[in-house]
Structure 1
Amino acid sequence: MKKNISLFLMLFMMVFTFAQKTISGKITDDEGAAIPSASVTIEEPGKDAILAYGITNSKGEYKVTFTSSESNVDLKVKAFNQKPLTKQISNSEQTLNFKMQSEATEIKEVQLKTKMITARGDTISYDLKAFNSKNDRTLADVMKKIPGIEVNTDGTILYQGNAINKFYVNGKDLMEGGYGTINNSLPKDAVQKVEVLENHQPVKILQDKVPSDQAAINIKLKNSVTMTGRGEVGTGFGEPWLWNVKLTPMFFGQKSQWVVNYKTNNMGEQVENEGNILAFGSGWEGRRSNISQNNWLSVENAVTPDLPVKRYLFNSVHYLSANYLTNIDKKKEWELKVNANYTNNAVERESSSNTNDFQQKTQYGTRFLNNFYTDKLKGEIIFTKNAKKGFFKNTTTFSQYWNGDRTNAYRKDSVSERNGLEAVQSPTSSFQNSLSTIIPWKEKMINLKSYISYQDDNQTLEISPANYMQIPYRNSIKDSMKTIDFVPGSFALQRFRIKTLDTSHSANISFTKKGWTFTPQVGFDYSTDKLDTNFDGITTSGQPDFNSPTYENSLKFTEITPSASLGVNYKSEAWSLFASFPVNFNNIKADDVIRNVSKTLNKTTFTPNIFVQYSFASFFKASVNGNISNNFGDIKTAYGGYIMTNPGSFSVMNPNNPIPQTTTKSLGARLEYRNPLNNLFFNVGSRIGDTKNNLISSIFVNPFGFRVTEYLERENKRTSNSYYAEIGKYFPKFKTNASFTFNNTLSKSQLIRNTAFIDNKTIANTVGFKFNNNYFSWMSVDFNASQTWNKQSNIFMTGNLGKSEGYTHNLNVFFYPIENHTIGFYWDQINSKSGDAKYNNGFFDLSYQFSWAKKKVDFELKWMNIANRKVFEKIDFDNAAITSTSMQLRPSQVMFTVKFNFK
């Protein structure tokens, strides 16, 4: 595999060096005045294909780099009110100046027809009208059809396969990465164009000094002051009565912006995730993250199908959010942002499974009926100054959870049948503050960063009756496994609390000269976790005593890491380089009061990170990147007592184990091509990864599926090698956008199961195809399909065992038989094959929509799951076991919805 990567890198270098030529010069008019914004293109003689292009700057200067095997090429110059110029030149490095003759450009029509895709420097602009269909209503509807852009199911926007780092509206970052609300609710009619800002550095003082390999999205509205938004109100027929309400008014002005969002439904839409942070900006802005609970304890969960969420989610959700941005100074450099959201959600879920354990030659069945309750509040205050002469950003975040989960569990095996009621209460409080400032000092920049986070998780798991469980145990690591016998009718209780303090502080100074920026930095990180747990239950005689230290934990885990690093950045017209060379002085201590055990680790590590990108021939970008990282575990891998993480599993660490150490190395290469002149985009790349651990997971599974997970001291390794490719093209003549993706991943890992060493090997292949067409005035089509082939193999999974295939497609066809009338047909197909078992699952929906064009109001009647399919079946592989599962789906339902724009 490493040879393949080396070959890939050699091919890159050949592309860099083979026949590359640069032509530069100046364009003037017949009076000698510079002509800005003139286009200069290079073409091969007799071929209607552009090799490279450039745009003159304000001084009339241009520079074009291209690759061609021809001895001569055609150079063409075009400018407004100038006579086009064409000259055949030799394929060589040269400087050419041109004087153009004045010629009035005749405008044949009053209407100005803009290009669908235009490029200027690192900005690519998409005219939204060129890609929408009659049935599209929001920005997200159209974004999915733009070449080079993808929208994942979680709302994340990808450009050329990579996530964006910023999402702007009229140049302002209102949502701070949580852009799902705007993308899903901004009416398409309010948008003039979508701009992709390639290699975007969001911190203005760092632009042209510290490069970035990520892109950003800027939504340019038709009006500089816009009051808009989207709303839906729907009711449905089913059991129970269905509702769906979405109200999202928005305002975008020159000084302030705001979005208010309220969504509620019980018909399977997962609206509560719209507040998730999807774009994290630049590390120079401080630290950003999606706040979550430390979910150590859980009930046994029903399995979810690999389907669109709307097919299986039984919910009752209320989600309210508000985002506000305003400039607080006359220069409009300082911004205040206030963001808040509240979620109240109840979810029901049900599944039944049958498991065949090949290692133990046993079978058992399970059935879980879940009720999940989420009650969450989050608030955020952000002060920002982002100017060419300085940067400041302070983010304060507070979150509170009041979550609770319930399960009615049922198990059946060759010995007995058991029922159990399970409940988890998990309140959490958290507070974070992130500060970053960049201060210019003569020719230098000083960056100070500080991050403080405190979180308190308190969880309680209760199981009744306790004898529902048949959990393995042993009093010492050398004992053989036994089964705990609980007193019939009694209950078991696992208590858990962890308090976490995490701080990080750093200071650096940057020197810039001739495109190079050097940034030496010193930092100090301090974190501490305090864990307290205990397990209570009543057992029969001769069983373990839960009052013994074996089932308790009182652990303090402290990590102190001073660090020193050097950042090296370079930016030119063709080259971008980012590299950091940090040295970390790791000091870790774990104090187990109950066992009177104290572990320490003091180790110095070097963790370099390098990214290099080369742009050539106007349309190509080639890059390589590599990094080494070290992780020394955390409190999750340092405790010594038993913890019942869920009613089917105990987790335990060996108190005599050393502190975990993990070293990860990765290397990647990538080639991109994006040509807005012929609407063609593609990228291809490869990545290898290698992870070494000093501890290995050892799982003991009894014949009934209950398990104990331990970690033993033994060096083991995980490897992953992947190749991927994506190509997309828009065909304007046919109003069609099509793209093709491919991914191949080979991964290897190791573990111990019931004392047997298992060396897992997994091969995964995925092929995807996307197609949408708006050619006909009476019909539009959206089609997405993917095919997967997976193979897991080990000493137990041989032959056809472990082989699986999957095919999914989503087809949406809209017919427009009469003006303002739309008939929609929706087909989701999910097929799976595992060994001799095959499952074909098809879902069909039908809709009719009448549009009141004058008021911009839509009336929709939609019938979902016409075939009334109520269960979904699939097969999963787990090292030495195969599980077939049947999951509950939403039944057939009919919804009537009124949809409208606020303005």
Structure 2
Amino acid sequence: SMTIETQSKTVKNNVGSVEFLVKEKVTELKEVIVKAPKVRQLGDTIHYDVSSFLDETDRSIGDVLKKLPGVQVLSSGQILYQNKAISKFYVEGLDLLKGKYGIATNNIDAKNVASVQVLENHQPIKALKNMEIPEEAAINLKLKKSALGAFFSTAQLGVGLPWPLLSNELVGMRFTQKQQNMLVYKGDNTGRDIAQEIISFYGGTDDATTSFLNVVSPSPPNINRQHFLFNDAHLGSLNDLRTFKKDLTLTTNINYLFDKHTSDSYARRDVFVDGSENIRIEEDMNSRLLKRELEGALTLEKNTDDYFLNNKINLSSKWNDESGNVLADRAVSQRLNLPSLYVANNFDYVRRTGKKRFRVQSEISYTAQENRLSVSPSMFGSFLEADSMLLRQDVLYNRFMTNTSVSGSREGKVSLHYSAGVFSNHYTFQSALHEGLNAMLLSTDSLRNQFSRGEIGLRVSPGMRVTITEKLKPYFSFPVTYLLVNKNDLVRSNDSRIGYWLFAPNVYLDYPLSTRITLYGSASYSNNIGGMREDLIGYMMTSYRNLSRNDGLQSKNSTANIYANLNYRNPFTTLFMTFGVNWMNNWRNMLYDTHYTGILSSATSILHPHSAQQFSANFSVGKSVDAISSELRAGTGYICNKSIALNQGIISPFTSDSYNVSGSSTTDIGQFMILKYSAAYSQSRIRVSYNRLSPMHYFTQSLNTSFIPKKGLIFNIGFNHYFNNAIQSAA
């Protein structure tokens, strides 16, 4: 005992017993420091202690996420865990933002977060727990007790030169286990792309609009976006989640974006033509893009162990337009109007009874677009037999979609799964070309499109999971679809009705080799046909120098894909590694070409069965090194493509390969300095026929140093370096 004085006596070997008189003694303990581990694992949950990764320069929880081993944050804001996109993002176990988690990662103060939890093999639907185990992980933010229930607000007023550079924010939030709210306003014209905060990273889409026309505008350079973006953006976001009863939530999300971009540049592009002189396109461009977008969603959800109910209503409306001027062979002005409307309702119901489950899913949506591209003067006068100073391309597009399915399963040593459903798509499309200030219609049939397309499909998908051992449980499925396509071309008085059989068998394996190593693998095959764009037989002016049409050919393709991922994670040593390989083979029946007459181009296609192969491999590693107070990560990748290409009517073999390597570090130097360094290098090579083009090299590095003379006072110095041998410039 630590409270008894130590005594010793020498005893002869013939003594039967010895008496000790106990004396009390106070023992002073040495100082003991208990330090929580930076990363720990409890079951399928990885816990990252935020305070262990936090430094003075970290403002939002997104800054901390970028340093966590095993976690990656892409430039778009999307979060990956061991090279796979996360499936859900929670705050205190509730999904307030429904995929637009950039609002949280960029605005929740990192100092209010106790830990970041990675939920591996996370099943968000309680009724499907232990029945369907997703491959993707989820992330949950655990707030500090002092932050729960408290209302936090932050305001920022930023002013800079050249005048007037502004960066303003007003953010309010409150999180409890029954109610959550986030209200955000941001205004910025310093080059920060605040629109990325309202991008949805969940599967599916909240907007089914598509692009038919475009303004030729400067391409973004491959550098930090804030260094070239000239914008004036305003963002408003209202998010509210309320729990009415146990497991019943109502979530409201409303976002509005006003975003104006301006850009100008000079570009020279050489189009390689096999056996001929290359075609050079030189353009001096300026453009203005104006986005005005309003979207809202209302989600009602009941999530219990016995059943799951979810209904989401989504509305999106856009009033976008883009304009620009190009100086090429002559000066050309362009203007594009892009109003659109999207309305959708999604319903999902799951009922579980013992080892059985039953599920009904339904989706219905409507999309309407009215696009108008005006070009002055016309570059296609001789081709269109219309020597006008103004051409206007109009497009009207509507789509009505439904998709309903029922599915079920019975669990056992051999678990049986089934799914059956019916879906439909109805498209209507009109395009017409007008000339002159009076917008006189060019009535030639070859310049018009007016058709409807109806698709009705029946899909059956049997599947089974076989339990070979407790860990080895491969899953097999064999989806079969019958698709009936009905086309009605009103311009050419042509109707058709054709049916197609589509197959998509696949096998998936999730095998834990040990508590640290997990193997993921899959093999799949699928065949598909082309969509409604192939019905555009009449010419459309898709840009000031491009006319596009199709020859009425139906594209068909099939794909075989095999991939394997090997993940290693050791929370105790904070070492996370991922290695993956992927092989894919595409069989296609068509080749696509672009014919050039000077800088003017027109797209076409021919029937020519062929195949294309792709192989890729990647490796990434991340680790915390306490000995040097650093967070380190590195990655490398390789990709190779082999196919054939149609170029100016000539078919040639085509190969390309590229590799990349990157690394980054964040190092704390005492209490007064923080160094952040990152670098990336990539090389790409292309070979067309027997001609090997010069390799393209790209290298970038950045160094940011933060000096902290006293707490709360930070001086930042940044250095960025870019190299790209494919770009030529002159002062």
Whether these two folds match at TM > 0.5 is yes
Change (3 A) 1:189 1:358: closer
Shift of 1:337: 0.4
Q: Please point out which of 259, 282, 297 is paired with 1:345.
A: 259
* Aligned residue in 2 for 1:242: 165
Shift of 1:178: 0.8
Shift of 1:604: 1.8
Query: 1:548-578, CA deviations, whole angstroms, 9 ceiling, x for partnerless residues?
Result: 1100011112111101111324677533544
Change (3 A) 1:198 1:583: same
Cα separation, 2, equivalents of 1:742 and 1:358? 30
Cα separation, 1, equivalents of 2:474 and 2:29? 45
Instruction: After TM superposition, list the pairs within 5 Å mapping 1:420-459 onto structure 2.
Output: 420-441=332-353, 443-459=355-371
CA contact under 8 A between 1:465 and 1:492: conserved in structure 2? yes
Instruction: Kindly provide the amino acid, as one letter, of the partner of residue 778 in structure 1.
Output: F
Cα separation, 1, equivalents of 2:155 and 2:701? 29
Cα separation, 2, equivalents of 1:778 and 1:832? 35
Cα separation, 2, equivalents of 1:576 and 1:202? 21
Change (3 A) 1:227 1:518: farther
* Aligned residue in 1 for 2:642: 748
Shift of 1:470: 4.3
Matched, 1:724 2:622: no
Matched, 1:647 2:559: no
Cα separation, 2, equivalents of 1:433 and 1:886? 54
Change (3 A) 1:653 1:731: same
The TM-score normalised by the length of structure 2 is: 0.91
Q: Please point out which of 367, 374, 380 is paired with 2:297.
A: 380
Shift of 1:403: 0.9
Matched, 1:199 2:154: no
State the 4+ residue runs in structure 1 displaced beyond 4 angstroms.
106-112, 482-486, 570-573, 884-887
Instruction: Kindly provide the amino acid, as one letter, of the partner of residue 115 in structure 2.
Output: K
Query: 1:354-398, CA deviations, whole angstroms, 9 ceiling, x for partnerless residues?
Result: 234453445442111101111111010001111111101111101
> What secondary structure, in the 3-state scheme, does the structure 2 residue paired with 1:384 have?
strand
Cα separation, 1, equivalents of 2:30 and 2:359? 55
Query: 1:211-232, CA deviations, whole angstroms, 9 ceiling, x for partnerless residues?
Result: 1111111100012424235432
Shift of 1:638: 2.0
Change (3 A) 1:645 1:362: closer
Matched, 1:326 2:223: no
Instruction: Kindly provide the amino acid, as one letter, of the partner of residue 665 in structure 1.
Output: A
Query: 1:295-340, CA deviations, whole angstroms, 9 ceiling, x for partnerless residues?
Result: 11111111211111111111111110111101121xx211100001
Cα separation, 1, equivalents of 2:730 and 2:524? 42
Instruction: After TM superposition, list the pairs within 5 Å mapping 1:528-677 onto structure 2.
Output: 528-537=426-435, 546-569=442-465, 574-655=471-552, 657=553, 659-677=554-572
Shift of 1:249: 1.2
Instruction: Kindly provide the amino acid, as one letter, of the partner of residue 781 in structure 1.
Output: L
CA contact under 8 A between 1:517 and 1:570: conserved in structure 2? yes
* Aligned residue in 1 for 2:387: 487
> What secondary structure, in the 3-state scheme, does the structure 1 residue paired with 2:495 have?
strand
> What secondary structure, in the 3-state scheme, does the structure 1 residue paired with 2:67 have?
coil
CA contact under 8 A between 1:210 and 1:569: conserved in structure 2? no
Change (3 A) 1:812 1:693: same
Instruction: After TM superposition, list the pairs within 5 Å mapping 1:695-714 onto structure 2.
Output: 695-703=590-598, 705-714=599-608
Cα separation, 2, equivalents of 1:564 and 1:265? 50
* Aligned residue in 2 for 1:257: 180
Instruction: Kindly provide the amino acid, as one letter, of the partner of residue 707 in structure 2.
Output: F
CA contact under 8 A between 1:186 and 1:228: conserved in structure 2? no
Change (3 A) 1:428 1:820: closer
Query: 1:60-94, CA deviations, whole angstroms, 9 ceiling, x for partnerless residues?
Result: xxxxxxxxxxxxxxxxxxxxxxxxxxxxxxxxxxx
CA contact under 8 A between 2:456 and 2:484: conserved in structure 1? yes
Change (3 A) 1:127 1:434: same
Instruction: Kindly provide the amino acid, as one letter, of the partner of residue 696 in structure 2.
Output: S
Cα separation, 1, equivalents of 2:200 and 2:633? 27
Instruction: Kindly provide the amino acid, as one letter, of the partner of residue 546 in structure 1.
Output: L
Query: 1:107-137, CA deviations, whole angstroms, 9 ceiling, x for partnerless residues?
Result: 9768752111110111110111111222112
Shift of 1:290: 3.6
> What secondary structure, in the 3-state scheme, does the structure 1 residue paired with 2:682 have?
strand
Change (3 A) 1:720 1:190: same
Cα separation, 2, equivalents of 1:726 and 1:229? 38
> What secondary structure, in the 3-state scheme, does the structure 2 residue paired with 1:130 have?
helix
> What secondary structure, in the 3-state scheme, does the structure 2 residue paired with 1:175 have?
coil
Shift of 1:831: 0.6
* Aligned residue in 2 for 1:402: 319
> What secondary structure, in the 3-state scheme, does the structure 1 residue paired with 2:725 have?
strand
* Aligned residue in 2 for 1:679: 574
CA contact under 8 A between 2:363 and 2:402: conserved in structure 1? yes
Cα separation, 2, equivalents of 1:250 and 1:578? 43
Cα separation, 2, equivalents of 1:166 and 1:765? 31
Cα separation, 2, equivalents of 1:749 and 1:460? 36
Shift of 1:713: 1.9
Q: Please point out which of 244, 268, 273 is paired with 2:191.
A: 268
Cα separation, 2, equivalents of 1:174 and 1:189? 20
> What secondary structure, in the 3-state scheme, does the structure 2 residue paired with 1:629 have?
strand
Cα separation, 1, equivalents of 2:260 and 2:558? 41
* Aligned residue in 1 for 2:709: 817
Instruction: Kindly provide the amino acid, as one letter, of the partner of residue 574 in structure 1.
Output: K
Q: How many residues align?
A: 696
Q: Please point out which of 201, 211, 216 is paired with 1:300.
A: 216
> What secondary structure, in the 3-state scheme, does the structure 2 residue paired with 1:355 have?
strand
Please provide the CA RMSD for this pair. Answer: 2.2
Shift of 1:711: 2.0
Matched, 1:232 2:146: no
> What secondary structure, in the 3-state scheme, does the structure 2 residue paired with 1:310 have?
helix
The TM-score normalised by the length of structure 1 is: 0.74
* Aligned residue in 2 for 1:367: 284
Change (3 A) 1:441 1:614: closer
Cα separation, 2, equivalents of 1:163 and 1:230? 30
Instruction: Kindly provide the amino acid, as one letter, of the partner of residue 190 in structure 2.
Output: M
Unaligned runs of 5+ in 1: 1-105, 281-287, 413-417, 472-481, 540-544, 835-873, 875-883, 888-903
CA contact under 8 A between 2:56 and 2:712: conserved in structure 1? no
Instruction: After TM superposition, list the pairs within 5 Å mapping 1:27-176 onto structure 2.
Output: 112-176=34-98
* Aligned residue in 2 for 1:84: none
* Aligned residue in 2 for 1:852: none
**Identity, % of aligned pairs?**
24
* Aligned residue in 2 for 1:502: 401
Matched, 1:524 2:447: no
Highest relative contact order (Cα 8 Å, sep 6+), 1 or 2? 1
Cα separation, 2, equivalents of 1:323 and 1:804? 45
Cα separation, 2, equivalents of 1:256 and 1:208? 28
> What secondary structure, in the 3-state scheme, does the structure 2 residue paired with 1:135 have?
coil
Query: 1:487-544, CA deviations, whole angstroms, 9 ceiling, x for partnerless residues?
Result: 25x2101110111011100001211125x532211110111111111112379xxxxx
Cα separation, 1, equivalents of 2:344 and 2:612? 34
Cα separation, 2, equivalents of 1:255 and 1:303? 46
Q: Please point out which of 720, 723, 726 is paired with 1:828.
A: 720
* Aligned residue in 2 for 1:311: 227
Instruction: Kindly provide the amino acid, as one letter, of the partner of residue 503 in structure 1.
Output: T
